[in-house]
Chains A and B, each alone.
Chain A
Amino acid sequence: MAKTLQNSTSQSESRIYNRIAVLRAERGLTRAALAEALGVNYQTVGYLERGEYNPSLELAFRIAEYFGLPLDAVFARTPFTPMSAALYGREER
Chain B
Amino acid sequence: MSVDRNWSNKLPVSDAIGSRALRRRKVVALFGGYALMGVTALGIMAQPAEPVRIAVGLIFIAVTLASLWGWVSLLGRTAINAPNISADAFDERQLARRNEAFSRTQPALGFSIAACALYALAAWVMPQLRAPGLMVYLLYGLLILSATLPTAYLAWTEADPEPRDDA
Contacts and interface: CB of A to CB of B under 8 A. Distances in A.
Interface of A: 30-33, 39-44, 46-47, 53, 55-56, 59
B94 interface: yes
A59 B81 contact: no
**Chain A binding surface SS class:** helix
A44 B91 contact: yes
A79 B81 CA distance: 30
Contacts of A46: 162
A30 B163 CA distance: 12
A30 B91 CA distance: 18
A38 to B, nearest CB: 9
Contacts of B166: 30-33, 42
Contacts of B92: 40, 44, 55-56, 59
A27 to B, nearest CB: 14
B94 A41 contact: yes
B165 A32 contact: yes
A41 B91 contact: yes
Nearest to B81: A43
